[in-house]
Structure 1
């Protein structure tokens, strides 16, 4: 996996700009796990990835990814490949498939 060396970065921190609308000093990292992981998937740098992997563990990140309600196609495919998660088991994939497709002609 791309981030196998995350344990080499135990002091990695989360960029507060990812949670710009929250008071970062009052963020509960356990209650906001899914939001934090979604923001890192969408906009995070390697240091942010190291932070979530060190904080929540590989299985914690995987389970949060399964519950995230929306990801764009690029991010959805990236985490599917990175964590070996079938697209069909992701909530964001199911929601996308249930939306009616518009004609593009």
Structure 2
């Protein structure tokens, strides 16, 4: 995007940084969806951890994308209550992980070699 490494946070490059962040958030959403499908192959406890992390970090990415240029005004975090909610939601999702429908896979996502 033409942003010098030593000037990533410079206000002059904010628009380019927003574009990059939105692209990364879109890519993260593809990985989040793929991780949800992949939990079908995991134990309940591992699926629970993956689903909780996907939700928590997915929320951060969605917030950065939604805030746009204002995402850098203050740190984007997930509060304790939201994390606990994701942990509870992920426990329920892990219990139903075998019913998670397949989603179209992006060919750029990593796939385990057969």
Superposition TM-score, scaled by structure 1 size: 0.25
Of structures 1 and 2, the one with the larger relative CO (CA 8 A, separation 6+) is: 2
Between Structure 1 and Structure 2, whose CA radius of gyration is higher? 2
